[in-house]
Structure 1
């Protein structure tokens, strides 16, 4: 996993990373990122990378990862939950999880602990920076890095005593309380403790129940960090992490607005306890040793009103049961409870100057182990039996990997880096419908990178990389189709797709990074072309209001595009920034069953892959104690699914914040989506409205947050 250290709070990488409010230098200062096993200046890191620092997070009043991801070009996200916890990088990534287990295409780590697939944990209070790596991460992250990686690093303990108290309020009854204390606990021992609760009534009005809190957010976080300098050669860093998310989930409306009619709104809960310990030993002249051990336990619950309506929906309408002698409406809920336990071990040797091969070649060698056990209990209404039913499955996975990297200087300016990873993946799936599968395969990935440093602040690079993602099983789709007595042709179609194959992505990328005007102007650019084999795509089969989802392999896919980011410190008071992403994607030989007809989606764009995305803005220090930041961001329309052709609308959003400092108190007035633009973060296409007699397929969307604003006060001590 990654270890990231900062030089200062101001840091600009590929995206706006702004200096501490109201106290700037006109020169853009540096952050350092160890994304390639060694500390590297982010401005010279030879791959496509975006870093969002603590100041940017605070400027945007961001509570969760979803509220800063738009700063990273060619990164999208999907909801279908209380938070947009599913990520897509360069058009690749999952959009939901229901019954079947998933192996994420985009990994998520927090303080070196693997949180992939459980993104509700990605809260941002007291976070030092968020790092987004684009493109396959086959050497560094293996099976969870097919499309890229997101790493969140919390603030580290300090030697000097410091802390803060924070309180905030906002519209929709938003409120926040937080506290941080950090400092020395004993000789050679520092600690940091952060506590926070964020809550809001949410943005949903349930007209049937007469409530405005069925989409509420209630998110609590506690994190403790220790840094122990055990000896001159040994440092031990540890993190204890607890999160308790208890959010409402009532976000889909038959009228595609924020007014729902459900009688049994759902919940989206996550309670996680995690511990990570990293020891770094430098007692050998030839190499350093870093070892990370982590454990994580999560209780997850995700449930919703499946019909989105109530038993009175047809009263007085054309579908009234008094006119027909039977009810047109159906009523059911769907609830998923998962128990997840994971253990992780990463041991790495990194060469020192005296340990270079042939006195010139840096090397890294490591072993990685990850074991995860995930048990599901699903409670739902079985219409065929006319009773509440329960489905269970268990999915156990194990990853054992060897990895290494060599970096050889070919000249004073040219460096060749070669990295590789071999990973043994094994899994065991079984469920209460007697479906079982035990895939076991050896996977490999890696990277070849040629880096040319023109001068101390300019680098050109070209790389080829290979990423991989393990296959899996579609146990639920087949079982549910049989249970619902779907047509024999549908059951045969799903039987052929009980298992799906491993996906491989091959990426070629060239990039440029440079600084000009004595470090006041930074520019980053990357062009990439990616080919995907056995591309894993989610399909849906609809039978009226009933549907089943499954993952299938298209023969291939293509993802290509560019990323451009720049920042200019115009003077000591004004900074401008921009980031632009362009993405072109294609699907090949992906077959969807519509009725009794097979439809080939070849040539179509992939889902959640907008063709363009941008973020532009400015930060201006108006006076010594007064500053303002304005962001304008937007993205193109995109397909909601690979199995149907309904799309979102393109949108542009406006965000702003105003900061005022009085001695040790920082006051912030903030607003997001100030023009109150409606835009979608998830979409489905099927009939679900009894008022229309379930006759017409309809595109249903989940709307993102409307205009939100608030005021916070932070006391620093």
Structure 2
């Protein structure tokens, strides 16, 4: 068929050409048409063109019913989501607004094979992507990038998400593009740029738990070439739990956040532009809102107390601490990005600075270990009259608060106390005189017997990146660059006596109070070289090769003063186990270098425009590091005889390397109304870093160890279906099969699942948007989320010894100061022969049950305003946020998750 031109524009077959001059490009046909043109033929042509126009309008209406194209920056350039050979879940501005995404847990709950734990304090989040989990006290496992700037502090992730344009979650190792710590993936946040015209909005909201929140944005041009944007956010909530001891309902899980962010973009010339950003946020919240549960089947049977061996999912939380947890975090950042455009490439330079200061103070864990319980100068109980010197203030304070709170202590099953007694000393079990255990005190108690804990994590970092990248080409794209970062981090964990008269100073060491301290300065220098090549072999096949080499030099120096402990067991021991007790020695500095080459190779086959298949191989790593010096010695001294304690525990830990293979498909169906993406993966991890929490007579200890070999494999599918112009349906499912292949730290855990890795995650939802009156729309969105059964430690359905398996040596030793107890007949819970103990631990009841959540949002919106009612966890699902098994303690520390909440948001745009 000959081609036509219509008003100077090429027109293809089927296009309407009724208006303007009609020309046939074929000369002979043109001559015939001009000679035989009559009124009848003109009418026929007009009728045909009208029919074509009507068909075109119908086709246009159908074409409009397509899914929104999503453009991502996963490979540091703009590309269609469907063309990138990476499993990505992306949230556009529309989804962020309609789904109510305001905190990281909001979008993570909508991402398959990705979960988050947000429990201990504001900066403490553990994100799991395909079975690889962020580790407390170590580097992160994913790259967190905000507006092209890599955030170096893992504690800087859990912040308010306001005035955000897009969020991208990349799964699988991304070290070739983003470097160190991207072993599990990357999370990319893009905030909104300054606008070309003056605009802004004000948002206010309120809800249950005394929630009050608000944000405001102003944006627009400042000069011809300079535009700016400023955004503010505030959130306050009293939380859902009450401290029964004090009667306060705003001291447990309260939360306050104030944030501000400013941005300037200056187009200095046609080829040079600058992007300057600055931000500040301050968070105040509760901290360490845990309860304790025992895993002692032998003790449960011997004492007739089922609560000593209880399913963690059946726990009823009670908060009765006398030291209300407090957490403060201040974060400030500044970045400058410059882009210089040349004929065939673009040079980008990024400078970034950030500073984070955070501390927390809370009640202690070690009341059951008798850390502050022994008072040799007090009466021990009925039939017992003890005399002796008073050991110290902490023991006196413990005894006093113990007897003042005896009633409420005995209400907390399975803990118990004997009226008129001194905790941890003598008791009369009807066999007088008997010296043994007379109290089992809980952690985080209303007494002073558990002491207090202080933690501090400050970090200051500076980074610089320069890269050169090709402009978009038809066949070849390339990029190369250099990265440098300097990071200073101060980490402290200390434990001290609670004398019932308050706390003086928010610092790791307080004279007269502190009994154990770990306090270190870390200095890190990072350099990296990176590059990538993307080549289209032909219309159907393309390959991508990226590589990066990272080198990290780490140093650590000790800051713990060489002074004696103040109160525990009378005081006098070194405050840090790395000291030898002479109080004249010093702790040496340490240094180590970690490096890794991280390649990534991808192949993409696009047999048709609506579908592509890709395969990739990638490597990621995160740096090794240092535990506080003296950690290994402390664990060996305290638990060396248990046999199931951590083995080969060192004061340093190795780097972690993940190697992953992925096969995926990205497809669009039904004229781009249905999008289905899927991927399968196989990942092997060497020296996976895992956080261990240990509680004992020393207080608390946090250490990072390595799980030697881990295998992770699984699959995920996500879809979005635009059923009508008003109704969309979406969902995803992720499956992960994990196994610990080798673990020299705890060999008996080999064959167990990877901690914090549910076997399945999923979400399903729909959204309806329709016009209810002129220029007024209504929307309804319903989201269902599912998280499968989850273990939180390498120790799972295992049986171990613990610090209470045999305590006869401890308590009879004390008793021998007043008489020989070895001849005393056995009492309740005491095997024949006078051995006092609680037996072994069994952790088979420590797996979190599967749970699902239902969230709803209903709103009406006009051109410049909207009103939205929202409800989260509207079925009030009762589940646990975190379970921290402490095998040497003989149980778990558990943290509750948030229950149902409701609220109303109002937005006005101008």
> What's the counterpart of residue 239 of structure 1?
277
> Which residue, 110, 119, 124 being the options, matches 2:146?
110
Greater mean deviation of Cα atoms: 269-278 or 121-130: 121-130
- 1:706 has 2:764 as partner: no
> Which residue, 879, 892, 897 being the options, matches 1:679?
879
Alpha-carbon deviations, 1:590-621, whole Å to 9, x = none?
1456xxxxx42111110111111001000012
> What's the counterpart of residue 411 of structure 1?
538
> What's the counterpart of residue 146 of structure 1?
183
| Aligned CA distance change for structure 1 residues 213 and 191 (closer, same or farther; 3 Å) | same
Alpha-carbon deviations, 1:528-579, whole Å to 9, x = none?
1011122223344554795534222233111111110000000111000011
Alpha-carbon deviations, 1:129-150, whole Å to 9, x = none?
2111111012111112011111
> More helix by proportion, 1 or 2?
2
CA distance in structure 2 between the partners assigned to 1:408 and 1:443 by the alignment:
25
| Aligned CA distance change for structure 1 residues 380 and 468 (closer, same or farther; 3 Å) | same
Give yes or no for contact 2:519–2:628 (8 Å, CA) kept in 1: no
1:259 match: secondary structure: coil
> What's the counterpart of residue 171 of structure 1?
208
2:750 match: secondary structure: coil
> Which residue, 219, 242, 253 being the options, matches 2:257?
219
Q: Cα offset for 1:414?
A: 0.7
- 1:654 has 2:780 as partner: no
Alignment of 1:124-163 (within 5 A): 124-163=161-200
| Aligned CA distance change for structure 1 residues 541 and 459 (closer, same or farther; 3 Å) | same
- 1:425 has 2:573 as partner: no
> What's the counterpart of residue 40 of structure 1?
79
Give yes or no for contact 2:365–2:699 (8 Å, CA) kept in 1: no
CA distance in structure 1 between the partners assigned to 2:632 and 2:514 by the alignment:
16
Q: Cα offset for 1:486?
A: 4.9
CA distance in structure 2 between the partners assigned to 1:526 and 1:179 by the alignment:
40
| Aligned CA distance change for structure 1 residues 25 and 547 (closer, same or farther; 3 Å) | farther
Give yes or no for contact 1:204–1:251 (8 Å, CA) kept in 2: no
CA distance in structure 1 between the partners assigned to 2:227 and 2:208 by the alignment:
38
2:279 match: secondary structure: strand
Greater mean deviation of Cα atoms: 318-327 or 39-48: 318-327
Q: Cα offset for 1:623?
A: 3.4
> What's the counterpart of residue 12 of structure 1?
none
Q: Cα offset for 1:322?
A: 3.6
Alignment of 1:426-465 (within 5 A): 426-431=553-558, 432=560, 433=578, 434=587, 436-465=589-618
| Aligned CA distance change for structure 1 residues 509 and 589 (closer, same or farther; 3 Å) | same
> What's the counterpart of residue 716 of structure 1?
909
- 1:295 has 2:295 as partner: no
Give yes or no for contact 2:871–2:900 (8 Å, CA) kept in 1: yes
- 1:54 has 2:78 as partner: no
Give yes or no for contact 2:113–2:736 (8 Å, CA) kept in 1: yes
Alignment of 1:59-78 (within 5 A): 59-78=98-117
Give yes or no for contact 1:113–1:276 (8 Å, CA) kept in 2: no
2:177 match: secondary structure: coil
CA distance in structure 1 between the partners assigned to 2:189 and 2:459 by the alignment:
21
Greater mean deviation of Cα atoms: 473-482 or 169-178: 473-482
2:631 match: secondary structure: helix
Give yes or no for contact 1:680–1:704 (8 Å, CA) kept in 2: yes
> Which ranges of structure 2 fall in alignment gaps of 5 or more residues?
1-62, 294-314, 368-400, 425-438, 442-448, 499-510, 561-577, 579-586, 798-845
Q: Cα offset for 1:362?
A: 2.2
Q: Cα offset for 1:406?
A: 1.0
| Aligned CA distance change for structure 1 residues 254 and 545 (closer, same or farther; 3 Å) | farther
CA distance in structure 1 between the partners assigned to 2:633 and 2:864 by the alignment:
60
> More strand by proportion, 1 or 2?
1
Q: Cα offset for 1:476?
A: 5.2
CA distance in structure 2 between the partners assigned to 1:663 and 1:53 by the alignment:
19
> What's the counterpart of residue 795 of structure 2?
643
1:67 match: secondary structure: helix
TM-score by length of 2: 0.70
Greater mean deviation of Cα atoms: 519-528 or 310-319: 310-319
Q: Cα offset for 1:307?
A: 3.3
- 1:381 has 2:496 as partner: yes
Alignment of 1:244-255 (within 5 A): 244-254=282-292
Structure exhibiting the larger radius of gyration computed from Cα positions: 2
- Aligned residues between the structures: 672
| Aligned CA distance change for structure 1 residues 323 and 588 (closer, same or farther; 3 Å) | farther
> What's the counterpart of residue 7 of structure 1?
none
Q: Cα offset for 1:626?
A: 1.0
- 1:664 has 2:877 as partner: no
> Which residue, 36, 51, 65 being the options, matches 1:26?
65
Q: Cα offset for 1:485?
A: 4.9
CA distance in structure 1 between the partners assigned to 2:737 and 2:663 by the alignment:
17
> Which residue, 608, 612, 627 being the options, matches 2:779?
627
> What's the counterpart of residue 757 of structure 2?
609
**Aligned-residue RMSD, C-alpha:** 2.7
| Aligned CA distance change for structure 1 residues 443 and 95 (closer, same or farther; 3 Å) | closer
- 1:337 has 2:456 as partner: yes
Give yes or no for contact 1:267–1:302 (8 Å, CA) kept in 2: yes
TM-score by length of 1: 0.88
> What's the counterpart of residue 18 of structure 1?
none
> What's the counterpart of residue 625 of structure 2?
472
Alignment of 1:438-587 (within 5 A): 438-475=591-628, 478=631, 481=634, 485-487=638-640, 496-541=649-694, 543=696, 548-587=701-740
> What's the counterpart of residue 285 of structure 1?
343
2:605 match: secondary structure: strand
| Aligned CA distance change for structure 1 residues 466 and 662 (closer, same or farther; 3 Å) | closer
> Which ranges of structure 1 fall in alignment gaps of 5 or more residues?
1-23, 594-598, 689-695
| Aligned CA distance change for structure 1 residues 493 and 623 (closer, same or farther; 3 Å) | closer
CA distance in structure 2 between the partners assigned to 1:204 and 1:543 by the alignment:
28
> What's the counterpart of residue 20 of structure 1?
none
CA distance in structure 2 between the partners assigned to 1:287 and 1:622 by the alignment:
45
CA distance in structure 2 between the partners assigned to 1:441 and 1:308 by the alignment:
36
| Aligned CA distance change for structure 1 residues 457 and 603 (closer, same or farther; 3 Å) | same
Q: Cα offset for 1:158?
A: 0.6
CA distance in structure 2 between the partners assigned to 1:588 and 1:476 by the alignment:
29
Q: Cα offset for 1:588?
A: 1.7
> What's the counterpart of residue 371 of structure 1?
486
Give yes or no for contact 2:632–2:649 (8 Å, CA) kept in 1: no
Q: Cα offset for 1:323?
A: 4.2
| Aligned CA distance change for structure 1 residues 435 and 638 (closer, same or farther; 3 Å) | farther
> What's the counterpart of residue 217 of structure 2?
180
CA distance in structure 2 between the partners assigned to 1:230 and 1:462 by the alignment:
42
1:143 match: secondary structure: coil
1:223 match: secondary structure: strand
Give yes or no for contact 2:282–2:328 (8 Å, CA) kept in 1: yes
2:222 match: secondary structure: strand
Greater mean deviation of Cα atoms: 189-198 or 52-61: 52-61
1:206 match: secondary structure: coil
> What's the counterpart of residue 259 of structure 1?
318
Q: Cα offset for 1:489?
A: 7.9
CA distance in structure 2 between the partners assigned to 1:279 and 1:426 by the alignment:
28
Give yes or no for contact 1:558–1:586 (8 Å, CA) kept in 2: yes
CA distance in structure 2 between the partners assigned to 1:352 and 1:657 by the alignment:
42
Alpha-carbon deviations, 1:199-224, whole Å to 9, x = none?
10011211001011111110111001
> What's the counterpart of residue 505 of structure 2?
none
1:186 match: secondary structure: coil
Give yes or no for contact 1:37–1:350 (8 Å, CA) kept in 2: no
CA distance in structure 2 between the partners assigned to 1:665 and 1:360 by the alignment:
45
CA distance in structure 2 between the partners assigned to 1:382 and 1:208 by the alignment:
19
